[in-house]
Structure 1
Amino acid sequence: MQFRTIIKILGQLVALFSITMIPPALVSLIYKDGGGVPFVLAFIFSVVLGLAAYYPNRHEHGDLKAREGFLIVVLFWLVLGSFAAVPFLFLQEPNLSLADSFFEAFSGLTTTGATVLTGIEYLPKSVLFYRQQLQWLGGMGIIVLAVAVLPMLGVGGMQLYRAETPGPVKDSKMTPRIADTAKHLWYIYVSITIACTLAYWFAGMGWFDAICHAFSTIAIGGFSTYDASMGHFNSPLINFICVVFLLIAALNFSLHYAAVSHRSIKVYLRDPEFKVFLFIQLALVVICFAVLSSNEVYADGDETLDHALFQAVSIGTTAGFATDNFSAWPLFLPILLIFSSFIGGCAGSTGGGMKVVRVFLLYLQGIRELNRLVHPRAIYSIKLGRKALPDKVVEAVWGFFSAYALVFMIIMLAIMATGMDTISAFSATAACLNNLGPGLGEVAAHYGAIPDLAKWLLTIAMVFGRLEIFTLLVLFTPTFWRG
């Protein structure tokens, strides 16, 4: 294990991350909110420690293997989340505890969107911008950006990319060089963010709100600059724009790249995961609309459709934005939507959850087993589109599902042991492991009132979800540390 090389890389990445403290400080200057000093102090603190880790190991040039790649990604997310919490610790308003600071920072960076804050619209603009910026940076993954901009990571870049990129199939690259792949991902990511910002502004948001909400929309994060989230704007047009961009961000970014490079939308139509994803989202909207209409929750059909469409897509893609208190809906719907977050977005998207392709493969495997019961001697293959998948891919998906369920149960039981009720513990675990955000019961509005131990456990759940279980779980196996 190339520990000194790993420390050197971590030092560089922390120093690079320190730059992200500058924009909130500039926002503080522009709006004169008096909140810039903590970000300047956090910048100095981060860059000094980052350089202190890098400088003594600057001549290390060890070749990164897969093991080092996994370790760097896990360490960097843990270290990065810790440094992201520093400004919250320095802030006077809001005055957050250690547990609250780490919870908020990791929630932002992992695009979970759970918050311990209340009275959000009264916070300094610099703090609001920082929270949204954290989600935007975490959305595509800081590691992918680092692979693109740090040439020294070129040798082991693929190992980092495989460990970081969401989804079950990680060996395929859009371009021959991994750095080019990362750059193309970020070009697409930035372009969609700009388009979303302009759409929000055109629909009536101010520039500050438009930029901030575009950050969290494209990251499928869910943070807002208001306690009422998107409901603050009371605008069906803004809600519809949010839905459109959430759906775009929840698609595989490789599809976006292929569509741009081939200048054709047929790429989407040929993708089986895309079709399944749209079917799931449409089914959720129809069910929500039918139940809300039958219970006469809203005054008319247009209002019902607006809320049904928005909440179904927001929760189904693991964004967590809100136009209304969905936990007050007939109980069937909140539970259904929480379960839908386990599916989440497509592989290679900024969404959370297990990913659509994995759930689809589990479904196909289930159908195959039923067919085998009827025809034991027949040979059935699982096809994704027209491509037959090797059994090792299906086995890996089953392994992932088992690990996901195990981690979920352990964290949920541990949270119940802190004194939280069953519904609150279940929804909080699901919301954080799936990088969703809002829950039910005690965590329907915010997470500020739950025990500190529960916050630490949920922070761990966020990291598990962001790194898709295996990347973090592999570090706990004896095999990983041998040799």
Structure 2
Amino acid sequence: MHYKVILRILGILLMIFSISMLPPLAISFFYDDGAELAFIAGFLITLMTGFFIWIPVYRVRQDLRTRDGFLITVLFWTVLGLFGAFPFMLTDQPHLTFVDAVFESLSGLTTTGATVITGIDHLPKSILFYRQELQWLGGMGIIVLAVAILPMLGIGGMQLYRAETPGPVKDSKLTPRITETAKALWYIYLSLTIACAAGYWLAGMSLFDAISHSFSTVAIGGFSTHDASIGYFDSVAIELICIFFMTISAVNFGLHFFAWRQRSLKHYLMDPEFRFYLLTLGGITIIALFALVITNTYSPDESLRKAAFMVVSIATTTGFATADFAHWPVMLPFLLFVAAFAGGCAGSTGGGMKVIRVLLILKQGYREIQRLVHPNAIIPVKLGKKPISDKVLEAVWGFFSVYMIVFVTMLIILLATGLDQVTAWSAVGATLNNLGPGLGDVSAHYGDLNEPAKWVLCFAMLLGRLEVFTLLVLFTPIFWKR
């Protein structure tokens, strides 16, 4: 383990992260909202800490190994969560406790969207913008951004990219060089953000709200500048724009890259994961629409509007709201919540286990049924026309098993802290899947939970953002052996 180069990279990344506090500082001065000192203090503390970590080892030049990449990734997200909490603690509004500030910061950076804050409409504009900015930075992963920057500083980034990129197959690159890959991803990400903000603004949002909500929409985050979320605007046009950008932001960014490079949309429909993703969203929307109509919850038109928005928002793990789905009739709250376990596509900003893993599990399950009839047959599992290796299938099943074990373990811990069953299991599911809103006592916010439960959920958010194994591998003895 190259500890000196790890410290050097961590110091550099902290100094880079400190810059994220300057835009909300400028907004604080512009609106004169009283949060200036909090952002100045947060900026200086983060910058100087990064500098003092970096300066003793700034001459160190070593190649990163895979284990170094895992440790840097986990350390960076953990440290960012801690340092990103300073503005929340140091302002008069919301003036959060340490655990609440870390929870809010991690929720933003991991694009979970779970909040401990109430009265969001009355927060300073700078704090509102900072929450949205945290989600935007976390959406594609600050590590991917760092991959584009670190090579200029003499540090290779492939190990970081492998540790950070979501999905079962991590070695595929869009371009031959990792730096170009990271830049390509960010150009697409930035372009989607600008297009989303322009759409919101043209549909009637203020410029501040349009930019803020574009951050959390493209990041699949779900933070809003209003307590009522997207429902605050009560606009069909805004909801349609939001549905569109939530849908495409939860698609593999590799598909967006090829669409941009080849000027063609054909490969979207040729991708099995994308087709299954759209089929799932469409199927659940139809079920929700049917249930809302026959129970007379809304009028038919309103049912379609609410069902389409909430299904896409929850299934993609965004977490925006135009209705309180937790109180919808019959099985709908559970159905929507379970859909979030699949989440977005691999290589997207979405959370959950990823659609491709669910698809492979279903395909392998069907193969086992076929083997009962033809025990000696060789039946490959295919995505499209491409057979999937047993190594990948084993990794998918391993991931699914660990995901469920982690879910049950944290559920038991939360129940032990005194939470009721619905609140406990939905809180774990909402944070592990980076969804945000849950059921029971966490359907609106997480502020009323006890402190031990909040720390467990902070860990769950990190596990979900780093896809479980990246974090859990640090707890194995073999990782630390020479």
Q: Does 1:29 align with 2:29?
A: yes
Distance 1:152 1:164 in 2: 20
- Compute the displacement of 1:135 (Å): 0.2
Distance 2:478 2:21 in 1: 38
Tell me, yes or no, if the aligned pair for 2:151 and 2:157 is still in contact at 8 Å. Answer: no
User: What amino acid is the match of 2:158?
Assistant: M
Aligned residues: 482
Q: For residue 149 of structure 1, what is the aligned residue in structure 2? A: 149
Q: Deviations over 1:51-82 (max 9, x none)?
A: 00000001111211111011110111101111
Tell me, yes or no, if the aligned pair for 1:85 and 1:104 is still in contact at 8 Å. Answer: yes
Q: For residue 293 of structure 1, what is the aligned residue in structure 2? A: 293
Q: Deviations over 1:130-185 (max 9, x none)?
A: 00000000000000001102225665311100110111111010111101100000
Q: Does 1:414 align with 2:409?
A: no
- Which consecutive residues of structure 2, in runs of 5 or more, have no partner in the other structure? none
Tell me, yes or no, if the aligned pair for 1:147 and 1:153 is still in contact at 8 Å. Answer: no
- Compute the displacement of 1:335 (Å): 0.6
- Compute the displacement of 1:385 (Å): 1.1
Tell me, yes or no, if the aligned pair for 2:18 and 2:43 is still in contact at 8 Å. Answer: yes
Tell me, yes or no, if the aligned pair for 2:35 and 2:126 is still in contact at 8 Å. Answer: yes
Secondary structure in 2 matching 1:284: helix
Q: For residue 347 of structure 2, what is the aligned residue in structure 1? A: 348
Q: For residue 308 of structure 1, what is the aligned residue in structure 2? A: 307
Alignment of 1:52-451 (within 5 A): 52-151=52-151, 156-298=156-298, 300-451=299-450
Deviates more, 1:312-321 or 1:148-157: 148-157
Identity of aligned residues (%): 58
Distance 1:149 1:163 in 2: 17
Distance 2:95 2:18 in 1: 22
Distance 2:150 2:156 in 1: 11
- Normalising by structure 2, report the TM-score: 0.99
Q: Structure 1 residues 153, 434: CA separation in 2 closer, same or farther (over 3 Å shift)?
A: farther
Tell me, yes or no, if the aligned pair for 2:111 and 2:222 is still in contact at 8 Å. Answer: yes
Secondary structure in 2 matching 1:342: helix
Tell me, yes or no, if the aligned pair for 1:69 and 1:156 is still in contact at 8 Å. Answer: no
Would you identify which runs of 4 or more consecutive aligned residues in structure 1 move more than 4 Å?
Answer: 152-155
Tell me, yes or no, if the aligned pair for 1:154 and 1:179 is still in contact at 8 Å. Answer: no
For the aligned residue pairs, the C-alpha RMSD in angstroms reads: 0.8
- Compute the displacement of 1:122 (Å): 0.4
Q: Deviations over 1:273-303 (max 9, x none)?
A: 00000000001110110000010111x2111
Q: Does 1:479 align with 2:472?
A: no
Distance 1:201 1:313 in 2: 21
Q: Structure 1 residues 154, 391: CA separation in 2 closer, same or farther (over 3 Å shift)?
A: farther
Tell me, yes or no, if the aligned pair for 1:115 and 1:448 is still in contact at 8 Å. Answer: yes
Distance 1:274 1:176 in 2: 24
User: What amino acid is the match of 1:98?
Assistant: F
Distance 1:331 1:239 in 2: 25
Q: Deviations over 1:248-274 (max 9, x none)?
A: 100000000001100000010111100
- Normalising by structure 1, report the TM-score: 0.99
Tell me, yes or no, if the aligned pair for 2:61 and 2:154 is still in contact at 8 Å. Answer: no
Tell me, yes or no, if the aligned pair for 2:198 and 2:210 is still in contact at 8 Å. Answer: yes
Distance 1:184 1:29 in 2: 34
User: What amino acid is the match of 1:430?
Assistant: G
- Compute the displacement of 1:331 (Å): 4.2
Distance 2:416 2:61 in 1: 46
Distance 1:118 1:331 in 2: 29
- Compute the displacement of 1:437 (Å): 0.3
Distance 2:329 2:51 in 1: 54
